Amino acid sequence: MRRHIGQEGKGNSSVANTSRTALAATAVILWFAVAPAGAQLVDRVAAVVGSGVITLSDARAVLALGFVQAAGGEPIAEAVGYLVNRQLILDEVNRYAAPAPDPAAVERRLAEVRARFPDAASLQRTLDATAMTELRLRDFVSDTLRIEAYLDQRFNAQAQPSPDEVERYFQDHQAEFSTGGEIPPFEAVRPRVRERVLAERRTALIADWLDRLRRRSTVLVY
């Protein structure tokens, strides 16, 4: 049973979006339908975002490769949610033609991913088990860096707190910055407080923006 998150637009755009969604999902379903007799079908469509399809193997890959740290009891659902949000943002990144990241930055991030595994063979087994390839992994990392740069450019300036807002936050959350039950002077923790306020405001701005993206997109989670 599928669950709708988001609403289709009106008029011709609604028809076009629905048609693209149906075609995208049908393409994956037909791929399974023509698989060789006796083949074991281990994948399925987990979500559709616009004309893009997210599969169960995609969700397993981001979990196995450490891109998603599941905090709850439904890791696949968390991974699918992550991929849905990622695709919504990536569509915006592509719409504004955000530039490719520095190749050196891609290599550094790939090195971080490889470091999560004891050796190259272990990483390769994970790639094989999740239908991922080295090329797809590189593209995924590259797009992740493009997304991060886009979000920084779009939201960091908006999220900057004023000095009064930082001090007020400290007054309201003093216990969270205390050590051994002692509340430190504000000046001693000002950078930490400012960083906390910035992060919370940035997260809220992005969440609100994502909600608007969902409302104007066709998003189906199965």
Hunting for tokens 């393409």 — which residue is that?
27
Q: What is the reported pLDDT for 61?
A: 96
The answer to whether residue 6 scores a pLDDT higher than 80 is no
pLDDT of amino acid 72: 75
pLDDT tens figures, 182-191: 999 999 999 9
Does the pLDDT value for residue 10 go beyond 90? Answer: no
Which tokens sit at 205?
């701005």
Residue 193 exposure: Cα atoms within 13 Å on the Cβ side: 26
User: The CATH number of the domain where 57 resides is what?
Assistant: 1.10.4030.10
pLDDT in tens, 70-112: 877 799 999 999 999 999 999 999 999 989 999 999 999 999 9
55: Cβ contacts below 8 Å, ≥ 6 apart:
28, 43, 44, 45, 46
Are residues 54 and 47 in contact, defined by beta-carbon separation less than 8 angstroms?
yes
Provide the residue range defining the domain that includes 98: 3-221
Domain count, the chain: 1
